[in-house]
């Protein structure tokens, strides 16, 4: 079986968990004799292509004078974009992006139609421009490649998946890793919502990363329950012995938040819980690793609470720096307001770090050896963190059984289920 897969990022160049999930899944699919052609807006040449063949959308050119190219574009719908559509943006860029409220249709269309288009592959002010060109590329790639099924990851790739389906007639599987409601709550962007809805409606089948997400897809987007299938994410098991025995220079306990510092991730609840803990025990340090539009606000809140001497902001971490941060931590906290799945707790647990996670997360559905609290329950969160830091038996139990549990969550198993989805989609198309 051969799959034409559309993603927005691929390791080692990632912004969030989406690229990590795509990498793990493609490796698992390779073991199931599934060949994956992975199309990404911008390839850098250092991607691991053992399990996939990377197609760099930036290398695909189009000539508008050709009839074929005009037909491709007729399948693609594009829209102008405002700043609030951007899911990931560093605080230093946020104000700049906010100023660029709209692009003129003329300039926008001109760039998309250019013979050569260099994708940034980022989540910047030209995002919708890139989404539109990406769909144009997808239509062309679908006409030239041999494949059985199309697999599109999240809303950025749904127009590409839809264009590829229309060009080839092959079945489309839409993979939903996060919805607009997860990212922004009830203040959702109607353009993104509509793109998500249209993508899932056009798909033959939809994969949700948790039952939490599946229910959102059914209840908030009106998607037929019979076509929405839950497949949980997994985790890479590549941990070195050196990482598990890293030496620390601090005697204090270290409690870590690692993720995008945005509304969805609930960073403010982490800070309030930290404040409560420090009223009882001053022998704890807190780390907030990541970047996002709420970073400056969180720094100001820490200062206002007078706990800055016990709080550290690292900025965005990637690769080995993430693992090293976990290795230095005594507790990892994920206080997300709405987390479709949540790979980061699994990354912490595989390095023997006990975790406190919100009940409003998909990963809470499958983890037994994690302390679970409501994201808004700051007292409960503080109690859970304090307990792990102060009761050795509790800490040891969560380390031991948590690591055993996470080692059972393999991408190979997730890939088997995804292949079954492909087979079902093929039968539906017959």
Give the pLDDT confidence score for residue 97 in this predicted structure: 46
Give the pLDDT confidence score for residue 275 in this predicted structure: 97
pLDDT 10s digits, 246-279: 777 778 999 999 999 998 899 999 999 999 999 9
Q: How confident is the model at residue 110 (pLDDT cuts 50, 70, 90)?
A: low
pLDDT 10s digits, 281-336: 999 999 999 998 899 999 999 999 999 999 999 999 887 888 899 999 999 999 99
Pairing label, strands 205-208, 172-176 = parallel
Q: Where are the domains of the chain?
A: 2-234+411-428, 241-407
CATH of domain 241-407: 3.40.50.2000
pLDDT 10s digits, 173-227: 999 999 999 888 888 888 889 999 999 999 999 999 999 999 999 999 999 999 9
CATH superfamily for domain 2-234+411-428? Glycogen Phosphorylase B; (3.40.50.2000)
Could you check whether 2-234+411-428 and 241-407 share the same CATH topology?
A: yes
Asked if 149 and 425 touch (Cβ cutoff 8 Å), the reply is yes
| Ramachandran class of 81: left when φ > 0, alpha when ψ lies in -120 to 50, beta otherwise | beta
Looking at the predicted structure, is the pLDDT value of residue 82 above 60? Answer: no
Residue 166 tokens read as 């229309």
Q: What are phi and psi of 150, to 5 degrees?
A: -105, 135
Give the pLDDT confidence score for residue 64 in this predicted structure: 57
Q: Which of 47, 297, 155 is nearest to 36 (CA)?
A: 47
Q: Where does 100-153 have alpha helices with state H?
A: 105-113, 127-144
């Amino acid at each position: 079986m051969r799959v034409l897969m559309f993603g927005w990022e691929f390791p080692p160049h990632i912004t969030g968990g989406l690229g990590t999930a795509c990498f793990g899944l493609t490796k698992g699919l390779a073991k199931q004799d599934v060949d994956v052609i992975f199309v990404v807006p911008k390839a850098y040449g250092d991607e691991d292509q053992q399990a996939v063949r990377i197609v760099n959308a930036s290398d695909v050119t189009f000539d508008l004078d050709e009839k074929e190219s005009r037909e491709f574009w007729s399948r693609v719908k594009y829209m102008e974009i405002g700043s609030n559509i951007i899911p990931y943006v560093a605080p230093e860029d946020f104000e700049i992006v906010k100023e660029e409220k709209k692009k003129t249709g003329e300039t926008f269309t001109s760039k998309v139609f250019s013979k050569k288009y260099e994708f940034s592959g980022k989540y910047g002010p030209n995002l919708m421009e890139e989404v539109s060109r990406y769909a144009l590329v997808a239509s062309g790639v679908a006409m030239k490649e041999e494949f059985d099924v199309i697999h599109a990851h999240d809303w950025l790739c749904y127009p590409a998946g839809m264009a590829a389906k229309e060009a080839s007639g092959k079945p489309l599987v839409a993979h939903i890793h996060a919805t607009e409601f997860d990212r922004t709550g009830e203040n959702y962007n109607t353009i993104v919502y509509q793109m998500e809805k249209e993508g899932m409606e056009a798909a033959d089948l939809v994969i949700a990363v948790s039952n939490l997400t599946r229910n959102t897809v059914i209840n908030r987007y009106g998607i037929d329950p019979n076509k929405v299938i839950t497949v949980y994410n997994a985790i890479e098991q590549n941990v070195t012995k050196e990482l598990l025995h890293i030496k620390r220079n601090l005697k204090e306990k270290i409690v870590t938040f690692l993720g995008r510092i945005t509304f969805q991730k609930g960073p403010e609840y982490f800070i309030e819980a930290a404040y409560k803990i420090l009223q009882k025990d001053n022998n704890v340090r807190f780390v907030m690793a990541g970047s996002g539009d709420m970073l400056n606000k969180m720094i100001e809140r820490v200062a206002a609470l007078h706990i800055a001497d016990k709080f550290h902001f690292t900025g965005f971490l990637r690769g080995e720096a993430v693992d090293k941060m976990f290795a230095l931590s005594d507790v990892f906290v994920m206080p997300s307001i709405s987390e479709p799945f949540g790979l980061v707790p699994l990354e912490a647990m595989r390095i023997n770090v006990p975790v406190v996670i919100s009940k409003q997360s998909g990963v809470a559905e499958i983890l037994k050896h994690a302390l679970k609290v409501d994201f808004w329950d700051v007292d409960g969160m503080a109690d859970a963190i304090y307990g792990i830091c102060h009761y050795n038996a509790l800490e040891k139990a969560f380390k031991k059984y948590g690591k055993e549990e996470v080692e059972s969550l393999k991408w190979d198993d997730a890939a088997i289920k995804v292949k079954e989805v492909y087979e079902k989609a093929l039968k539906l198309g017959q």
